[in-house]
Amino acid sequence: MFMKNTPKKILDNARLLFNREGVNNVRLQDIAEYTNISPGNLSYHFKKKKDLIQALLNQLQLASKEIRAENMSYLENEDYLSIIRSYLRFQIGHRFFYRDILDLISLAPESKQIYETQMNQVIKFAKNGMYLAAGKGLWKSQRHEDSFYYFAKNIWAILNSWLVEREVFGEEQVSMQEIINAIWEFHHPYFTEKGLEIYTMLEEQIPSIVQNEMAIIN
């Protein structure tokens, strides 16, 4: 008899192990042992590693949709701290996807389209945030038609690269605090005088947010 919610337990533990060890370094047998079930029990639910990865990708897409809806609400209410907290939690919880994307594409080719969708959604959200902030007098207007787009794309590049840098150079050299500081400093020249009040407030509160979110890394 299978234990209750076995597929969910398998997926939760697979995500945890992929986050810790890397997708290519984790076998189905490792996931079965960590879940305290037999390899046969695991294969009943997920016959191949690709099947398990596809299920994790489905979870990621659903979670991403929920996060976007939440963050749009935060954005409209100028709750920028909650946006930072929400996105960091999502990225940390699914860091295997961003860090190991090339490995994932070789195992599950649909990962490429999901990655592209994720990138475009983050860029679109950042652009919307800048338009809203400019409309409220917190952010300077575009210098040219595509300036918000390229700003948003650079933010994505920073967010997408820090997990790889962390793996290569180590936690002490590439801390989350350093990355958030880099992103926040990048914003500074674009705030209006009114917006700089928010900048200063967030700059003071971000360290505690980072510390809290790093505590959830498995």
Q: State residue 1's pLDDT score.
A: 38
CB distance 38 to 29 below 8 Å: no
| pLDDT at residue 142 tops 50 | yes
Q: State residue 214's pLDDT score.
A: 67
Q: State residue 171's pLDDT score.
A: 75
Q: State residue 100's pLDDT score.
A: 94
Look-up of token digits 């979870």: 59
Q: What is the mean pLDDT of residues 197-209?
A: 84
For the chain, the domains span 1-47, 60-214
29-61 tens-digit pLDDT: 999 999 999 999 999 999 999 999 999 999 999
Q: State residue 216's pLDDT score.
A: 61
CATH number of 60-214: 1.10.357.10
155-181 tens-digit pLDDT: 898 888 888 888 888 877 877 777 778
State the Cα–Cα distance between residues 177 and 169, nearest whole angstrom.
Answer: 15
> pLDDT category, 120, cuts 50, 70, 90?
very high
Q: State residue 30's pLDDT score.
A: 97
Residues 6+ apart with CB under 8 A from 71: 82, 83, 86, 87, 125
Q: Could you give the C-alpha distances from 67 to 64, 110, 119, 199, in angstroms and in order?
A: 5, 21, 14, 23
State the Cα–Cα distance between residues 188 and 203, nearest whole angstrom.
Answer: 10
Work out the mean pLDDT of the chain and round it to a whole number: 89
CB distance 35 to 47 below 8 Å: no
CA 157, 63, 117 angle in degrees (round to 5)?
A: 45
Q: What is the mean pLDDT of residues 12-33?
A: 96
Q: What is the mean pLDDT of residues 11-38?
A: 96
| pLDDT at residue 15 tops 90 | yes
Tokens representing 35 are 């879940």
**Assigned architecture for domain 1-47:** Orthogonal Bundle (1.10)
Q: 83-87, 151-155, 212-216: which range is least confident on average?
A: 212-216
77-115 tens-digit pLDDT: 888 878 888 887 888 889 999 999 999 999 999 999 999
pTM: 0.86
Closest of 39, 47, 34 to residue 218, by C-alpha: 34
